[in-house]
């Protein structure tokens, strides 16, 4: 299989090397894994990962796998970036962890530098570890500041697995755990490809959808609406980007009700979409911003950013989020290095350029394969949705899950790691998020494998 990139370079994969079978299931590693590990989300990939570098992970038996998900959508500088490696080595040898009430220069420097990348009035920063933790803190702050407790989020949202974050998560994990936090409400996702409120021309009537959504919220609310927590581009929800104007209208709905707007930019923040922050496109500044994943470039670092006014009100009311690793110097030092590389290498511009290149390749794949129903996303966060029948309205989700699973397996056999979202009624949506440091040649390699895998999966289903 050959795939030619824009620069003219042509790649040919070594089929013998790329289709070797995964690590043997008789390896003691798998015996130990099956005996001792708690499974936390589906089955484990049957590969033993030995190391990672740049855009690739390498297995114990010598296979090289192109990483089109940046690890867990986090390693925006690729794996083992030299600047990150140097920072970790230096910082861990001097100052790694402190009592949570103590401060260090990396923490204050990162807070200041993050604020400098953001519009006013976002200037107060709380440094934490994971996206769930940052959303937990943001919700907690919003409840304290407003004196209310009700939280609104999208019906296909993913905000984390801790109590408040999980209660605002609707794409998965809600059944079997007992009641969530009281006062959580879902609103419909403005999905342009699969519209539910339709205008006369057949397009999504998102304004009518949003009005209807808040009519329902108002009917259910006890008068205690605290905040609306949303992703500017839903990732686990299927790479769904609200139309231009939606976030501004949502902000207005919040203002009318005295709610705070919290934007979760765990995956969209820090240049991935081609802007430093995804909300910049819409000219909407949130009351509270949460960051994670991309901020640590694969290491555990997250942040809550808000205004001095909200922080002051929270402080006066006794805001408490005293955790073991709040304001730790080691991850903060890594965050400073991430900002260094993003700025020096102008990775926002690179994400725009590579994103356009990636999109062109995905469109070409869609032209060859009728099972590709939609291409969407922004910058280096792209979505490709598989459908059984592209000509049936906006495609049928039925049967697409099985096809998506076949394509995913075939991609891995051919040396490409892909992540597919499978939600009821949506078919299968590939989340494509390579590192911002990836090259056109690496994107071409991934596009070629994906093209071949879709063809093989479709041929196998006939």
The catalytic residue positions are 158, 231, 264, 267, 293, 431
Using alpha carbons, list the distances in angstroms from residue 247 to 217, 228, 263, 280. Answer: 17, 11, 10, 11
- Tell me the CA end-to-end span of the chain in Å, nearest whole number: 21
Between β-strands 2-4 and 150-154, what pairing exists: parallel, antiparallel or unpaired? Answer: unpaired
What is the H or E stretch that residue 203 is in? none
| Whether 366 contacts 372, CB under 8 Å | yes
Burial of 99 (0-12, 13-18, 19+ CB in 10 A): exposed
Q: Quick one: how far is CA 383 from the chain centroid?
A: 11
Q: Which one-letter DSSP state was computed for residue 253? A: H
Question: Strand, coil or helix: what is 250?
Answer: helix
Half-sphere exposure of 424 (CA within 13 A, CB side): 4
Q: Are 428 and 398 in contact (CB under 8 A)?
A: no
Going by DSSP bridges, is the β-strand pair 64-67/416-417 parallel, antiparallel, or unpaired? parallel
Please identify which residue in the block is written with the tokens 């620069």: 7
Task: Give the Cα separation of 231 and 189 in Å (integer).
Answer: 11
Contact between 50 and 59 (Cβ < 8 Å): yes
∠234-293-110 over CA atoms, to 5°?
125
Burial 230-261, CB ≥16 within 10 A → b, else e: bbbbbbbbbbbbbeeebbebbbebbeebebbb
Six-digit token pair at 63? 């296979």
* Tokens at 409, concatenated: 């397996």
Q: Are residues 97 and 325 in contact, defined by beta-carbon separation less than 8 angstroms?
A: yes
């Amino acid at each position: 299989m050959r795939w030619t990139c824009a620069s003219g370079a042509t790649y040919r994969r070594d089929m013998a090397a790329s289709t070797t079978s995964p690590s043997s299931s008789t390896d003691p590693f798998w015996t130990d894994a099956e005996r001792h590990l708690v499974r936390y989300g589906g089955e484990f990939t049957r590969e033993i990962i030995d190391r990672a570098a740049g855009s690739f992970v390498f297995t114990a038996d010598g296979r090289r796998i192109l990483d089109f998900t940046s690890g867990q959508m986090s390693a925006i500088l690729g794996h083992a970036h030299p600047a990150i490696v140097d920072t970790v080595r230096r910082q861990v040898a001097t100052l790694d962890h402190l009592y949570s009430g103590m401060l260090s220069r990396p923490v204050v420097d990162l807070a200041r530098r993050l604020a400098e990348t953001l519009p006013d009035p976002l200037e107060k920063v709380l440094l934490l570890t994971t996206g769930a933790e940052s959303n937990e803190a943001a919700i907690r702050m919003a409840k304290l500041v407003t004196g209310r407790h009700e939280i609104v989020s999208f019906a296909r949202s993913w905000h984390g697995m801790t109590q408040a974050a999980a209660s605002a998560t609707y794409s998965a994990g809600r059944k079997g755990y007992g009641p969530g936090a009281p006062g959580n409400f879902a609103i419909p996702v403005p999905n342009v490809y699969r519209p539910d409120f339709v205008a006369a021309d057949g397009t999504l009537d998102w304004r009518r959808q949003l009005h209807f959504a808040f009519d329902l919220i108002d009917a259910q609310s006890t008068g205690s609406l605290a905040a609306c927590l949303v992703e500017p581009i839903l990732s686990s929800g299927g790479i769904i980007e609200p139309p231009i104007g939606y976030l501004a209208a949502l902000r207005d709905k919040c203002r009318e009700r005295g709610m705070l707007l919290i934007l979760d930019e765990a995956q969209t923040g820090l240049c991935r979409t081609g802007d430093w922050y995804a909300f910049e496109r819409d000219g909407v500044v949130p009351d509270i911003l949460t960051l994670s994943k991309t901020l640590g470039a694969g290491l555990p670092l997250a942040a809550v950013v808000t205004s001095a006014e909200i922080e002051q009100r929270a402080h006066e009311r006794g805001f408490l989020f005293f955790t073991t690793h709040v304001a730790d110097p080691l991850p903060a030092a890594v965050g400073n290095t991430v900002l260094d590389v993003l700025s020096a290498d102008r990775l926002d511009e690179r994400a725009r350029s590579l994103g356009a290149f990636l999109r062109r390749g995905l469109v070409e794949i869609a032209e060859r394969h009728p099972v590709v129903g939609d291409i969407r996303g922004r910058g280096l966060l792209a979505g490709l949705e598989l459908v059984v029948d592209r000509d049936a309205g906006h495609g049928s989700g039925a049967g697409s899950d099985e096809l998506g699973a076949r394509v995913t397996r075939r991609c891995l056999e051919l040396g490409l790691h892909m992540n597919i979202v499978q939600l009821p009624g949506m078919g299968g949506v590939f989340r494509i998020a390579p590192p911002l440091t990836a090259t056109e040649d690496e994107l071409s390699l991934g596009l070629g494998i994906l093209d071949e895998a879709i063809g093989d999966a479709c041929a196998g289903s006939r």
